[in-house]
Amino acid sequence: MPDVVVVGGGPVGLLLAGELRLAGADPLVLEAADEPARQLRGLGLRGINGRTCQALRLRGLTGPLARAQEELFDRLAADQGPAGADQVRGLLRLLVEHRAKGHFGGLPLVEDQPDPLGTADQFLIKQHQLEQILVDWVTGLGVPLRSGCRVVDVVTEETEVRALLADGSSVSAAYLVGCDGGRSTVRKQARIGFPGTPATMTGRTAVAELADPGAVTASLHGPRGLLNLSLVPGEIATIEFDGGPDERDAPMTAAEMQASIRRVSGVDVTVTRLAGGVRYSDNTRQATTYRQGRVLLAGDAAHVHSPIGGQGLNLGLQDAMNLGWKLGLVVRGLAPEALLDTYTAERHPVGERVLRNTRAQVALMRPGAQVAALREVLGEALAVPATRHHFTAMVNGTDIDYAPGSAHPLTGRFAPPLELTGATPLPDLLRDGRAVLVDLTGSAQIRDAAEGHRVRTVTARCPAHDALAALLIRPDGYVAWATADANLTGLAEAFRIHGF
């Protein structure tokens, strides 16, 4: 029997499974879909933001992401004419130089100088590329993945939870995590509330061909919506502010996409071929809790919102980083069960904030003279570095503080990129998912305090941070405890509550 059943082998389920494995648990991933369905779901591009990159760097996954991005951009450039290829290369340059930091409602967040914010990487890739990188990683860790397994019900018993599959079989485990996307069966079966606001817009992205692509503007933000033909060759995207999609399940047809392009552009184009498409909306909802006993939720199963601004995947991947080590330690009996409640306590407010900023971004994309004026005003404000950095931190998740008001300002924050002299670089120290106690003063007292705890203790110097004496870093890269001097108050408690 596995320790944890992860329902859904999308990006969030895969990362969670790997994190559970690193924490010493035995997860099993049950995935309903087959390979072609995955490729179709990955239409459009996915921005991997600053905080997610910092987190994935801890597991050595940013190298493969950089290679995937380069491959993708080579392909995108090759499929364009010379002007388009220059545009693609220009975007890649901004990413590689660490100057592109995403956008807010289509208003670019771009820096003049490389990386003034200390969050180096940002990637733009296809979702199936990310999923392949994660599949390779979890397979290497020995996590079993079972595809073609649709979970239809979840039954919680006193000592275990059972996933019932469509073929009539079942799998039991101590815990079950629903990473099964926005329409989560797990969430519904566990009767976890999902309040929010209904859709007001419909986005469509399709692999399609037009009889005369030159007849419409390649990138249009007009009075009836948005049209884009230029970002990914062969893909056409529209957004209409029409009250949300009437149809959610039926496969998209050429006639549907053609009608949408005609409405947005006002041009009578003809779609000659359509090889699949996806619809999305700004239906914005969040689970009332991310844990109900033995059942937990992560990723889109816990929160949905418009993809404008590119944050849903990032939010979910960071849920997985937060939950993985906690659930791994709890299921092995090494940490108190109360640690699991810190998952909702820490991640729910972060999700709430993303829901708020994506609603604001949808408002900014609407047609109309007033919104156009608002965009201009906000564009001016974003030219001011301090304002731009505030928005950049918000959409990149780099302003997250899990423990506001702590005794030390670093506690609750992601560990800063400390330049350690005499030790392995910090991200590499966390590669195997173990907590790290960094001692910057060579103190015997700190080493003694760590004796017998599940942490790697590292003694190093960090001349740039002479006001920092020691810090305890969780497996997800966040600081659990820090001190500016020899005072170790709070360290023993930090070991206890985190199960280190």
Ligand X SMILES: Cc1cc2nc3c(=O)[nH]c(=O)nc-3n(C[C@H](O)[C@H](O)[C@H](O)COP(=O)(O)OP(=O)(O)OC[C@H]3O[C@@H](n4cnc5c(N)ncnc54)[C@H](O)[C@@H]3O)c2cc1C
- Whether residue 326 contacts residue 177, with contact meaning beta carbons closer than 8 Å, is answered with no
Tell how strand 107-110 and strand 100-104 pair up: antiparallel
Q: Does 134 bind ligand X (CB under 6 A)?
A: no
As measured in angstroms, the least distance from the Cβ of 319 to ligand X is 8
Q: Does 283 bind ligand X (CB under 6 A)?
A: no
Among 73, 104, 175, 280, binds ligand X (CB under 6 A): 280
Cα 366 to Cα 105, 202, 222, 362, distances in angstroms: 10, 12, 9, 7
Q: Does 311 bind ligand X (CB under 6 A)?
A: yes
According to the 3-state scheme, what is the secondary structure of 413-429?
A: CECCCCCCECCCCHHHH
- Residue number with CB closer to ligand X (33 or 372): 33
- Residue number with CB closer to ligand X (205 or 284): 205
Q: Does 44 bind ligand X (CB under 6 A)?
A: yes
- Residue number with CB closer to ligand X (228 or 258): 228
Among 225, 299, 324, 412, binds ligand X (CB under 6 A): 299
Expressed in angstroms, the distance from the first to the final Cα of the chain is 25
Q: Does 55 bind ligand X (CB under 6 A)?
A: no
As measured in angstroms, the least distance from the Cβ of 241 to ligand X is 16
As measured in angstroms, the least distance from the Cβ of 48 to ligand X is 7
Q: Does 102 bind ligand X (CB under 6 A)?
A: no
Cα 301 to Cα 10, 76, 248, 274, 316, distances in angstroms: 11, 32, 17, 29, 9
Binding mask 220-259 for ligand X (x = CB under 6 A): ----------------------------------------
The Cα 378–Cα 421 span in angstroms is 43
The Cα 227–Cα 241 span in angstroms is 12
Q: Does 181 bind ligand X (CB under 6 A)?
A: yes
Among 21, 46, 347, 474, binds ligand X (CB under 6 A): 46
Q: Does 412 bind ligand X (CB under 6 A)?
A: no
Among 3, 19, 26, 31, binds ligand X (CB under 6 A): 31
Q: Does 179 bind ligand X (CB under 6 A)?
A: yes
As measured in angstroms, the least distance from the Cβ of 238 to ligand X is 11
According to the 3-state scheme, what is the secondary structure of 166-232?
A: CCCCEEEECEEEECCCCCCHHHHHCCCCCCEECCCCEEEEEEEEECCHHHCCCEEEECCEEEECCCC
Name residue 273's beta-bridge partners. Answer: 209
Q: Does 26 bind ligand X (CB under 6 A)?
A: no
Q: Does 278 bind ligand X (CB under 6 A)?
A: yes
- Residue number with CB closer to ligand X (304 or 403): 304
Kindly give, in sequence order, each residue whose CB lies less than 8 Å from that of residue 178, ignoring residues fewer than 6 positions away: 7, 8, 154, 184, 185, 186, 187, 190, 295, 296, 297, 298, 301
Q: Does 100 bind ligand X (CB under 6 A)?
A: no
Binding mask 186-205 for ligand X (x = CB under 6 A): -------------------x
Name residue 210's beta-bridge partners. Answer: 271
The Cα 128–Cα 39 span in angstroms is 6
Q: Does 433 bind ligand X (CB under 6 A)?
A: no
As measured in angstroms, the least distance from the Cβ of 72 to ligand X is 13
- Whether residue 295 contacts residue 161, with contact meaning beta carbons closer than 8 Å, is answered with yes
- Whether residue 310 contacts residue 354, with contact meaning beta carbons closer than 8 Å, is answered with no
Q: Does 13 bind ligand X (CB under 6 A)?
A: yes
Q: Name which of residues 144 to 173 contact ligand X (CB under 6 A).
A: 150-151
Q: Does 346 bind ligand X (CB under 6 A)?
A: no
Q: Does 286 bind ligand X (CB under 6 A)?
A: no
Q: Does 8 bind ligand X (CB under 6 A)?
A: yes
Helix (H) or strand (E) holding 152: strand 151-156
Q: Where are the beta strands (DSSP E) in 313-448?
A: 435-439
Kindly give, in sequence order, each residue whose CB lies less than 8 Å from that of residue 189, ignoring residues fewer than 6 positions away: 153, 154
Looking at residue 461, the DSSP 8-state letter turns out to be B
Determine phi and psi for 192, rounding to 5 degrees: -90, 125
The number of residues that bind ligand X (CB under 6 A) is 33
Q: Does 47 bind ligand X (CB under 6 A)?
A: yes
Among 316, 328, 351, 475, binds ligand X (CB under 6 A): 316
Q: Does 361 bind ligand X (CB under 6 A)?
A: no
- Whether residue 357 contacts residue 394, with contact meaning beta carbons closer than 8 Å, is answered with yes
The Cα 100–Cα 95 span in angstroms is 5
Among 310, 351, 412, 433, binds ligand X (CB under 6 A): 310
Q: Does 475 bind ligand X (CB under 6 A)?
A: no
- Residue number with CB closer to ligand X (7 or 423): 7
Q: Does 343 bind ligand X (CB under 6 A)?
A: no
Kindly give, in sequence order, each residue whose CB lies less than 8 Å from that of residue 117, ignoring residues fewer than 6 positions away: 50, 101, 111, 389, 392, 393, 398
Residues in contact with ligand X by the rule CB under 6 A:
7-13, 30-33, 44, 46-47, 127, 150-151, 179-181, 185, 205, 278, 280, 299-300, 307, 310-314, 316
